[in-house]
């Protein structure tokens, strides 16, 4: 990932600027700022520099991120990406919070009281139809392709996708609600986790999903050759 992508993640997650740095597999003793790590990576392009946020140092499988040596941001660019979120972002957060609270209230609302006779009548009417549907499901299940078993997570403007199937994925396509597509050509072995930043998604007009551009994430689809399509509605 580039320095800019990491700073966008820090801004969206309100994360502090403190990172463990690993150079060619050797981890430093003290946490450093992202600016210091980026300047070091730029000056030592032959070395592989990886970063781990200081708050994630105790997790079971720490998500180390490879820091690309270029491009390096200027001091002014760093200052602009360290400012508080705009009021638009705050409004979006408040809207999400209101939706979560509404969902909790709805979950604890008592169910409406219905006439027991009406419930029994509906159950008797749908019994034969339900049996027919189940039989059709069994027939389809014998001939259908196996499904994708994946774990999908998102942190800021990065997707983390883990292959939980027992076989290697030969390739992968990730589609977003606004028509943006990431066509991953390399195989993904079982248990491997991919880090896919937003900039790897291309729209129908050929434009990439650049930093700062909003995208509707209401629907995410995964496609793997030989497996049933995986779809999630958010």
Mean pLDDT of 125-148: 56
**173 within 8 A of 183, measured Cβ to Cβ:** yes
Assigned domain for 144 exists: no
Strands laid side by side in the 193-197 sheet? 150-155, 158-163, 193-197
Indicate which CATH number applies to the domain containing 199: 2.60.40
Total domain count for the chain?
2
> Among the ranges 2-11, 15-24, 109-118, which has the highest mean pLDDT value?
15-24
Mean pLDDT of 122-145: 51
Assigned domain for 129 exists: no
Q: pTM, whole model, 2 decimals?
A: 0.44
pLDDT at site 134: 53
Can you name the residues that pair with 208 across neighbouring β-strands? Answer: 202
Question: Where does the pLDDT of residue 138 fall: very low under 50, low under 70, confident under 90, or very high at 90 and above?
Answer: very low
Assigned domain for 206 exists: yes
Question: Where does the pLDDT of residue 127 fall: very low under 50, low under 70, confident under 90, or very high at 90 and above?
Answer: low
pLDDT in tens, 24-80: 988 888 889 999 999 999 898 888 999 988 888 777 788 888 999 888 888 888 887
Assigned domain for 87 exists: no
Q: What is the mean pLDDT of the chain?
A: 78
Assigned domain for 134 exists: no
**69 within 8 A of 50, measured Cβ to Cβ:** no
Assigned domain for 124 exists: no
Per the structure, the complete domain to which residue 75 belongs is given by 3-80
Assigned domain for 38 exists: yes
User: Minimal CA–CA distance to 21: which of 60, 52, 48?
Assistant: 52
- The share of the chain scoring above pLDDT 90, in percent, equals 17
């Amino acid at each position: 990932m580039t320095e800019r992508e990491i700073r966008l993640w820090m801004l969206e997650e309100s994360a502090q600027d403190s990172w463990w740095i690993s150079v060619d597999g050797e981890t430093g003793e003290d946490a450093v700022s992202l600016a210091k790590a980026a300047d070091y990576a730029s000056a030592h392009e032959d070395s592989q520099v990886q970063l781990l946020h200081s708050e994630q140092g105790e997790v079971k499988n720490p998500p180390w991120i490879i820091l690309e040596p270029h491009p390096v941001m200027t001091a002014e660019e760093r200052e602009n990406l360290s400012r508080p979120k705009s009021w638009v972002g705050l409004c979006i957060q408040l809207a999400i919070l209101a939706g979560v609270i509404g969902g909790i209230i709805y979950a604890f609302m008592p169910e409406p009281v219905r006439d027991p006779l009406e419930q029994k009548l509906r159950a008797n009417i749908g019994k034969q139809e339900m049996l027919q549907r189940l039989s059709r499901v069994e027939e389809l299940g014998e001939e259908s392709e196996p499904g994708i078993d994946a774990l999908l997570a998102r942190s800021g403007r990065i997707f983390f996708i883990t292959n939980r199937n027992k076989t290697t994925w030969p390739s992968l396509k990730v589609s977003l609600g606004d028509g943006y597509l990431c066509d991953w050509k390399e195989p993904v072995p079982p248990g491997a986790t991919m880090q896919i930043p937003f900039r790897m998604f291309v729209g129908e007009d050929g434009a990439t999903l650049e930093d700062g551009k909003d995208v509707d994430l209401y629907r995410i689809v995964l496609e793997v050759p030989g497996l049933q399509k995986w779809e999630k509605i958010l």
